[in-house]
Structure 1
Amino acid sequence: MSEQSGSKETRQRTALEEYEQSGEDRPPFILTYTEVKLLGITGVGFFLDAYDLFIINPVSTMLQYRLYGSGTMPANLQGLLKAAANIGSVIGQFLFGYCADAFGRKAVYGKELMLIIVATILCISTPTGTLSPNGCLIYLTIFRILLGVGVGGDYPMSASVTSDRATIRKRGTMLAYIFANQGWGSFVGALMTIIVLACYKHVMNDELETSKVDGVWRIVVGLSLIPAFGTLYQRLTLPESTRFKKSQETELIEQDGLDKEKMAVEAGVHSESKSSVDENPSEPAPKKAHFLEVIKYFSEWRHLKILIGTCSCWFLLDVAFYGINLNTNVVLTEIGYAGKSGTAWEKLFKVATGNIIITALGFVPGYYVTVLTIEKLGRKKIQVMGFLMEALFLAILAAKFSTLSTAAFIVNFTLLQFFFNFGANATTYCYPAEVFPTRYRAFAHGMSAACGKSGAIISALVFNSLTNSIGTPNVLWIFFGCSILGAACTFLLPEVAGRDPDAILAQEQMEQQ
């Protein structure tokens, strides 16, 4: 039995070495089988991220029909339900980011997916037949927060697991491939909603049993369990990366040397200490709390400045990105897919069709242009260009909001979505995974992502009230300002193409000695 497990581990490590030493002669976007397999394991989290976050828009409409009939869902509970997963994401990003650095990727990876699975099962078990309508929304909100913890944890985990393994020349491409799964998650979520609604057309539309929508939303949400279960085993058994193990060994050697030097000094002052040093010369020094190491590293301005850059850019991006994409009703109204007339089924089907149109127009293409160009153009150029192009199209939509023709509105909105994803929405994910050394990478990525999700939460909670008080064009001008500020904050960051943060850290430590 032990021989079998040993040979299996050997095969895993051989595959890992093959991935980490992938050929230099191919373009970065051409992948080997091992790379595709790794991207399948890590990318499913971002597929679920988009699927679970954006599916709440049609689901909340379905719940309104099921729980409130011809009435309206309470605005405060609806806002909280939409923001719940993002609230949980902030917690998950901080928690899993720190734990991945402190305890190792292997010890933590897969646990976030287990949380997603458990929370999804609890969400689809919402007792709509026994709890009050408001009670059902509160129940669902609680477990969507738990779902968000798992989804948020996937950001630093998958980014660090991939970046730890990637060769420097392909690192950005690999991370962009992972993030592109967010586009597919949104697309498949809208597609599944259309398919399941089509299956329920007879009972809901012809027999007018609108309450059957209860089955539609449970099936749509529950389908996300398929990719989650499909990759759970691979995540739990993925071996630790060579780069992470080396970073831990280096940290222990550095600490051991400092501790022995300190003990030798003390031994010179207190001769009785000398014998204790000599008695156990090979005894390893205890590892310091990782938190203290993080504080020490980011107490230097050159490191803190970069962290401020990754956090602020992601925050400013998500204020605009989620402000637009969690409130697509404005766009759907403009293109005639708002679902304002017809039976309950016809309204839901029209909204689902509008969502898939929006996703196909700009979401998916933008991600893959980033994949193809990130190593050529560099992250900094793409991010600055993305922010400025977002600002341009937001300004056009804001200034001409009431006078644009439907065709012009669709073109501008499509280009806005394209430059979100061929721009800062992709690069803000890549930057923290590439600019920070291995031993601090997951924490820094988690902190940056949590700042981004904080921007998403703000947009989710205040967009509707701001729109009612100052109007949609003025809200778009606020998003314009966020985009300009994001471009400015990008100049806090270095270009990371070809940059080895571990080598830079080693050089800095040598200079300090």
Structure 2
Amino acid sequence: MSEHAVTSGRATPTPTTESAHYRSGLADVDQSGRPAFILTRTEIKLLGIAGVGFFLDAYDLFIINPVATMLQYRLYGGGHLPPNLEGFMKAGANIGSVIGQFAFGYAADALGRKAVYGKELMLIILATILTMTTPTGTLSPDNALIYLAVFRILLGIGVGGDYPMSASITSDRSNLRKRGTMLAYIFSNQGWGSFMGSLITIIVLAAYKGVMEGKGQTSKVDGVWRIVVGVSLVPAFGTLYQRLTLPESTRFLASQKLKNANAREEGDAIAELKRAQLGEDARMGNLNGPVDEKVGADAKGEEEPSSSSSLEDENAAPPEVLVKKKAHFSDFIKYFSNWKHGKMLLGTCMCWFLLDIAFYGINLNQNVVLQQIGYDGAEGTPWQRLFKISTGNMIVTALGFVPGYYASILTIEKLGRKWIQIQGFLMAALFLAILAGKFETLSKPAFIVCFALLQFFFNFGANTTTYCYPAEVFPTRFRATAHGVSAAAGKAGAIVSALAFNTLSKDIGTPACLWIFFGCCIAGAGFTLLLPEVRNRDPDLILAEEIKEAREAMERQTADVVAGR
């Protein structure tokens, strides 16, 4: 079906591919003339509101590495943490994330984004405060780790809930031409979260140097990790009010009209979707001039929204409540029982699962990498060791994480999600193979370069696009739930790595584990082939057309029966 086939509300099949041609007539309405990565003020505001969740995600998930090292000195006299408890503590947030991704994803579709958004941030705040109260002085060392791990599970529920919530909030409001860029910007905050986690650790350690080095009070490290964890409360409190008061998007409300409508009303629903997108484009500052004739026809003479509107103006958008029937799990099952839709969910789930086995297997156990590059803190006083580990973590993040994210931001609308994901998987597999095959013989500079390139292609690749894909390929009605299911599959992979890597690396060696990660990346590239390219693709219009065509087919069948044919 061509890109113009949906403008009249009538299906006009043509022999074109499904992906990029199912787009709104508003896909090219952005009249600003700016590149996709140049954002409007309103888009920057949305980026700040939604992006803080991924900043906290990386900060809280990756900060556990230096915290675990600090707890060695506070609880075990510098000795290693018990392997099982260390694995449980590192996996705790990911275990909670699976719960949060399912629960918040479903709730966002069933109850609406406005009713749910902000609650996940409240959970993050509560869990962070409870984590800081870990009574290391009164509980036994093992019980203190269990206490910490339990509240990190609660933290993970909030962090996990942020995945489908922020993805849906952003996708609902984005111009199709900039949707992937907006999502990539949101996700790039993960790199900054990891970077700031290392930087804050270095700053707090520097403040404690006199006590820990000069006076030899190593137990003061207990204060270091609590401060480092507590700093994450600042951005969390800073955006809580904005999340709780963010109004519902008009696109989400319009998408609810796709339910229980007859064939003629489906045509109206298509026009409603386009009017909703037009409204969002105006509110996000992407309409700087008069709307072209085609869009004006799509809007059916409706008065154009003012381009000076902002996020807060959505309160006055649709006076009526369009969500008349809650999204039920049976609707979700029915939709994805169709292989045409189910294979896309399988693709997003498996790609994210396979990616996170490799990605978290490397990053939750980064001490192995730091050992290879000489920043594992194997020598010196406890303070010197901790400072060196944090410096090594910041180097690794600066070399690979942040540049990879911004390479995705700058190219995602040009290269497309599918190309970036496949090349990212394959390039990551290449560097994993080099690391695995030459693990003992690579020089320190060669190892650093190889590992930095591995991190770069994780982030200029599947780590970014596995987040973007579920927010772009699925219709608004099922977007948050499908994103939550996909993200939960990814976190399942992270849990496998967190629980199994330490044991496996001792049993079969680190190079063998890296070969396993290599296989995961190759398989991930294969599963990407199940997914369409989603650049400029409007899944809501696809769903509207599918429903309308199915109803028209039923009407024809009914007419044939009545006519006795």
Shared topology, TM-score over 0.5? yes
Structure 2 partner of 1:89:
97
CA distance in 1, matches of 2:116, 2:324: 21
| Amino acid across the alignment from 2:368 | V
Structure 1 residue 225 and structure 2 residue 233: aligned? yes
Identify, as 1 or 2, the structure richer in helix. Answer: 1
Flag the 1:77–1:432 CA change in 2: closer, same or farther, 3 A.
same
CA distance in 2, matches of 1:199, 1:213: 11
Aligned length: 469
CA distance in 2, matches of 1:452, 1:433: 15
How far the C-alpha of 1:479 sits from its partner, in A, is 0.6
Percent sequence identity over aligned pairs: 73
Structure 1 partner of 2:42:
34
Structure 2 partner of 1:361:
399
Structure 2 partner of 1:347:
385
SS in 2 for 1:497: coil
Between 247-256 and 93-102, report the one with greater CA deviation. Answer: 247-256
How far the C-alpha of 1:488 sits from its partner, in A, is 0.5
CA distance in 1, matches of 2:262, 2:74: 61
CA distance in 2, matches of 1:50, 1:433: 20
1:457-486 per-position Cα deviation (integer Å, ceiling 9, x unaligned): 000111111111111111111111100100
Structure 2 partner of 1:59:
67
CA distance in 2, matches of 1:21, 1:113: 34
1:311-349 per-position Cα deviation (integer Å, ceiling 9, x unaligned): 000000000000011111121111111101111111101
Question: Which of 467, 479, 496 is 1:441 aligned to?
Answer: 479
CA distance in 2, matches of 1:343, 1:314: 40
Structure 2 partner of 1:14:
none
Flag the 1:219–1:390 CA change in 2: closer, same or farther, 3 A.
same
1:356-397 per-position Cα deviation (integer Å, ceiling 9, x unaligned): 000000000000010000000000000000000001111111
1:132-151 per-position Cα deviation (integer Å, ceiling 9, x unaligned): 21121111111000000000
- The answer (yes or no) to whether the contact 1:307–1:448 under 8 Å persists in 2 is yes
CA distance in 1, matches of 2:96, 2:36: 34
Question: Which of 546, 549, 555 is 1:508 aligned to?
Answer: 546
1:403-426 per-position Cα deviation (integer Å, ceiling 9, x unaligned): 111111111111100000000000
Between 127-136 and 54-63, report the one with greater CA deviation. Answer: 127-136
CA distance in 1, matches of 2:190, 2:31: 27
- The answer (yes or no) to whether the contact 1:126–1:140 under 8 Å persists in 2 is yes
How far the C-alpha of 1:206 sits from its partner, in A, is 1.0
Structure 1 partner of 2:219:
211
- The answer (yes or no) to whether the contact 1:255–1:285 under 8 Å persists in 2 is no
Given the two structures, how large is their TM-score scaled by the length of structure 2? 0.81
Structure 2 partner of 1:395:
433
Structure 1 partner of 2:413:
375
- The answer (yes or no) to whether the contact 2:72–2:81 under 8 Å persists in 1 is yes
| Amino acid across the alignment from 1:304 | G
1:43-87 per-position Cα deviation (integer Å, ceiling 9, x unaligned): 000000000000000001111111121443211111100100000
Question: Which of 185, 191, 209 is 1:201 aligned to?
Answer: 209
Flag the 1:70–1:332 CA change in 2: closer, same or farther, 3 A.
closer
How far the C-alpha of 1:197 sits from its partner, in A, is 0.2
Structure 1 partner of 2:375:
337
How far the C-alpha of 1:250 sits from its partner, in A, is 3.1
CA distance in 2, matches of 1:394, 1:201: 37
Q: How does 1:416-431 map to 2 (within 5 A)?
A: 416-431=454-469
How far the C-alpha of 1:287 sits from its partner, in A, is 2.7
CA distance in 2, matches of 1:433, 1:255: 27
- The answer (yes or no) to whether the contact 1:252–1:287 under 8 Å persists in 2 is no
SS in 2 for 1:168: coil
How far the C-alpha of 1:180 sits from its partner, in A, is 0.3
Structure 2 partner of 1:16:
none
CA distance in 2, matches of 1:289, 1:242: 17
Q: How does 1:233-252 map to 2 (within 5 A)?
A: 233-251=241-259
